[in-house]
C-alpha cells in the first residue's frame, strides 16, 4: 500500500526512493482483564478486534503484492478493495489506545514506549534494508508510532472534540495541497542514505512536506482516523458504556457512507497510481475519507461483541467470540493477533522472494498466489506462533508486540 518500495525497484538508476513495507497495525494489545464486563474469552483477548484487524491484514497483503506482482492497469474493483485496509488499521490503533486508557488505566509511558518501538523498527528498516535515512519519508510505522501518544492525549479531550478535530484533519490536506501542491511521486531522491546528514538538514522542507502532504501516509488526514478510534473507545468503554449498535451510530455511519460516496463520485481527486500501488487515496479526498469513516462505523456495528454492554443473551454476530467464528473467522483472529509481525515479514518476502520468483502476473494467477501467501501466514499464526507464546510467557515489550497474543 505504500509506494516507496516499488519506486526503488523501478528507478534503480535514479537517486532516490527505496522500498517500504506497506501497511500494518501496531498489533496493539487487544487484551482485557478477566471478568471485565463479560468480554473476555478464554484466550484473554477481544476477539472482535482481532477479527477486524485480521480482515485488514487479508486486504493489505494482496494490495501490497500488486505493486510488483500484478500487471497494470489494475482493475478498478481491485483498487477500491485495496483502499480500506489503511483506515481500518489506523482507526483500530486509536481504538485500542482508548481501550487501554479506559479499561486498563494505561499511562502515557506505556503508549510512548510502544510508539517508540514502532519508530525504531521503521528507522531500522530504512537504514538496513531500504538504505535511506530514518524519518525522511512517511511510511505507516512512522504514522502509527506518532498516533499512539496522540490517541492517548486525545482521550484527555472532551469526547465531542475528537470527531471535530478529525474532520479538521480530513479537510486540512485540501488546503495544504492547494498551497504546496501534491507530487505524483514523492521526491525520494533527496532522501538517500548516501547523502551526508548535513545535506539532509538543508532539505528539511522536503521531509516536512513528506510528513504533512505528499508522503505515503501524511499526518493529515490519517491522524483523523486515530482520533475517531479514540472517540469510539469512549463510546464503548467510557463512563457511560454503550454498544456500537445502540443510539445514533448505525444511522450516522450509514449517512456518512452515502454522503461520502456522493462527494467521492463528484470529486474523486487525481487517484494516482504510484509506481504500481493503485489505492484510491493518492491523494485522499474528503469524499473518500467520509466514505471510509462510514464503513468503519458499520464494521464496528457488525463485528462488535454484544455481551457487554448489552444483554448477555442478545443475538450474537458472526464475529462475536472465538468459538462462534467458524474456521475462517478464527484464522482471521489469529492473523489479527500478529499483525505487526505479518507487516514486517510480508514486505520482506514480497521484495526478496515473490517478486524475483514470479514477476508480474495476470489477475487469475495473482489471486492464486495471494491466497497461497495468506495461507502461509495463517499457518504461521495458527501452528507456529502459539508454541512460541507458551515458551515466552512474559516476553519483553518488543517481542510481545511481534508475537501478539
Whole-angstrom Cα distance, residue 281 to residue 132? 24
What is the sign of the dihedral through the CA atoms of 209, 211, 215 and 218? negative
Question: CA-CA-CA-CA torsion for 381, 56, 272, 21, nearest 10 degrees?
Answer: -30
The DSSP 8-state label assigned to residue 381 in this structure reads I
- Taking the CA atoms of the chain, what radius of gyration do you get in angstroms? 20
In sequence order, the 6+-apart residues with CB closer than 8 A to the CB of 248 are: none
Q: What is the pLDDT of residue 304?
A: 86
Domain enclosing residue 361, as ranges: 4-403
List the pLDDT tens digit at each of the 405 positions of the chain.
444 444 444 443 333 332 333 333 344 444 443 333 334 333 457 889 999 999 999 999 999 999 999 999 999 999 999 999 999 999 999 999 999 999 888 899 999 999 999 998 888 777 776 777 888 878 888 999 999 999 999 999 999 999 999 999 999 999 999 998 898 877 665 566 556 767 777 778 888 888 999 888 999 999 999 999 999 999 999 888 888 988 789 999 999 999 999 999 999 999 999 888 999 999 999 999 999 999 999 999 999 865 443 333 344 444 445 556 788 889 999 999 999 999 989 988 998 899 999 999 999 999 999 999 999 999 999 999 999 988 888 888 888 888 886
Q: Which of 28, 44, 46, 27 is nearest to 237 (CA)?
A: 46
Cell numbers for 304: 462488535
Whole-angstrom Cα distance, residue 405 to residue 400? 8
Answer for the pair 203, 133: CB distance below 8 angstroms, yes or no. no
Whole-angstrom Cα distance, residue 237 to residue 32? 12
Cell numbers for 343: 507487516
How many domains is the chain built from? 1
Burial class (CB in 10 A: 0-12, 13-18, 19+), 11: middle
Whole-angstrom Cα distance, residue 49 to residue 321? 10
Answer for the pair 138, 217: CB distance below 8 angstroms, yes or no. yes
Amino acid at each position: 500500500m505504500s509506494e516507496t518500495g516499488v519506486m526503488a525497484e523501478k528507478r534503480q538508476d535514479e537517486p532516490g526512493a527505496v522500498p517500504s513495507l506497506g501497511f500494518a497495525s501496531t498489533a496493539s494489545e487487544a487484551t482485557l482483564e478477566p471478568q471485565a464486563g463479560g468480554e473476555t474469552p478464554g484466550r484473554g483477548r477481544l476477539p472482535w478486534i482481532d477479527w477486524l484487524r485480521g480482515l485488514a491484514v487479508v486486504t493489505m497483503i494482496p494490495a501490497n503484492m500488486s505493486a510488483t506482482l500484478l500487471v497494470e492497469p489494475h482493475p478498478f474493483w481491485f483498487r477500491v478493495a485495496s483502499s480500506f485496509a489503511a483506515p481500518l488499521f489506523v482507526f483500530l490503533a486509536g481504538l485500542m489506545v482508548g481501550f487501554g486508557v479506559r479499561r486498563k488505566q494505561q499511562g502515557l509511558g506505556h503508549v510512548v514506549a510502544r510508539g517508540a518501538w514502532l519508530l525504531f523498527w521503521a528507522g531500522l528498516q530504512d537504514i538496513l534494508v531500504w538504505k535511506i535515512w530514518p524519518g525522511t519519508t512517511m511510511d505507516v510505522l512512522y504514522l502509527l508510532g506518532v498516533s499512539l501518544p496522540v490517541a492517548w492525549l486525545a482521550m484527555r479531550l472532551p469526547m465531542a472534540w475528537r470527531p471535530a478535530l478529525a474532520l479538521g484533519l480530513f479537510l486540512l490536506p485540501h488546503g495544504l495541497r492547494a498551497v504546496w501542491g501534491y507530487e505524483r511521486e514523492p521526491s525520494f531522491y533527496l532522501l538517500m542514505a548516501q547523502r551526508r546528514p548535513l545535506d539532509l538538514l538543508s532539505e528539511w522542507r522536503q521531509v516536512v512536506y513528506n510528513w504533512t502532504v505528499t508522503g505515503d501516509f501524511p499526518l493529515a488526514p490519517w491522524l483523523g482516523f486515530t482520533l475517531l478510534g479514540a472517540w469510539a473507545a469512549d463510546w464503548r468503554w467510557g463512563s457511560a458504556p454503550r454498544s456500537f449498535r445502540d443510539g445514533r451510530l448505525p444511522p450516522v455511519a450509514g449517512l456518512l457512507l452515502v454522503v461520502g460516496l456522493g462527494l467521492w463520485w463528484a470529486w474523486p481527486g487525481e487517484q494516482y497510481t504510484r509506481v504500481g500501488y493503485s489505492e484510491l487515496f493518492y491523494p485522499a479526498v474528503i469524499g473518500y475519507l467520509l466514505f471510509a469513516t462510514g464503513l468503519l462505523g458499520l464494521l464496528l456495528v457488525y463485528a462488535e461483541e454484544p455481551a457487554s454492554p448489552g444483554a448477555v443473551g442478545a443475538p450474537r454476530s458472526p464475529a462475536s467470540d472465538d468459538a462462534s467464528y467458524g474456521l475462517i473467522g478464527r484464522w482471521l483472529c489469529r492473523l489479527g493477533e500478529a499483525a505487526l509481525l505479518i507487516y514486517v515479514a510480508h514486505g520482506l518476502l514480497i521484495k526478496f522472494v515473490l517478486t524475483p520468483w514470479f514477476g508480474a502476473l495476470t489477475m487469475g494467477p495473482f489471486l492464486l498466489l495471494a491466497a497461497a501467501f495468506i495461507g502461509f501466514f495463517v499457518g504461521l499464526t495458527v501452528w507456529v506462533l502459539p508454541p512460541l507464546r507458551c515458551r515466552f510467557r512474559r516476553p519483553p515489550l518488543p517481542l510481545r508486540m511481534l508475537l501478539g497474543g
